[in-house]
Amino acid sequence: MSAEKQKNERNENAVLTILSTQTAEGETDRSELNTTAVFSRKGNEVTIQYTELDDTGNAVGETVITVLSQNLVTIHKIGFAEAVMVLEKGKTHPVKYSTVFGNMEMLLCALDIHALFHPGGGRLQLRYLIDIGDSYSAVNTIDLRVRLR
């Protein structure tokens, strides 16, 4: 089944933009993702689900971001990369990140979480530390904006 047909069957009702920045060892990498997504709200809980595509447009995974509160966000990745990431302001959580190239364990600590959502969409801003033992540490920021189409 083509990625476009899968998107239509999932009832993607929103447009998603994610600006990501990772700073490590004095270097900064930035990326931007623009895609469609499924956006839903139940009370104060917000869920955003989108398909990850490779360079040729083929689906390689799914990401589900769940905003549980102003202090707690989960990111669940399945497919090419597999992980359940818990970002809780001021707390450190372990995560096992699996890919076809191997597995790595890391610690995540959310420094800031700002979530502002309404029935038509909203914004999530995250800033968190990634620590992979003695070999690597970085600060990631995510600025996510979603709006119904």
Q: How many domains does the chain have?
A: 1
Token pair, residue 5, equals 């047909």
The Cα 85–Cα 70 span in angstroms is 16
Enclosing domain of residue 37 = 3-148
- Look at 5 and 88; give whichever has higher pLDDT: 88
Contacts of 52 (CB under 8 A, 6+ apart): 59, 60, 61, 62, 63, 77, 79, 80
CATH number at residue 36: 2.40.128.20
Q: What span, in angstroms and rounded, lies between the C-alpha atoms of 18 and 31?
A: 8
Mean per-residue pLDDT for 26-44?
94
Q: What is the mean pLDDT of the chain?
A: 91
* CA gap 86, 133 in Å, rounded: 18
Distance CA 26, CA 36 (A): 33
The string of pLDDT tens digits covering residues 98-146 is: 988 899 999 999 999 999 999 999 999 999 999 988 778 999 999 999 9
**119 phi and psi, to 5 degrees?**
-55, -25
Nearest-angstrom CA–CA distance, 42 and 78: 23
Q: Which residue has the higher pLDDT, 63 or 57?
A: 63
* Six token digits for residue 137: 């540490």
Across 55-59, average pLDDT: 88
Lowest mean pLDDT across 2-11, 21-30, 45-54: 2-11
**How many angstroms separate the CA atoms of 16 and 52, rounded?**
12
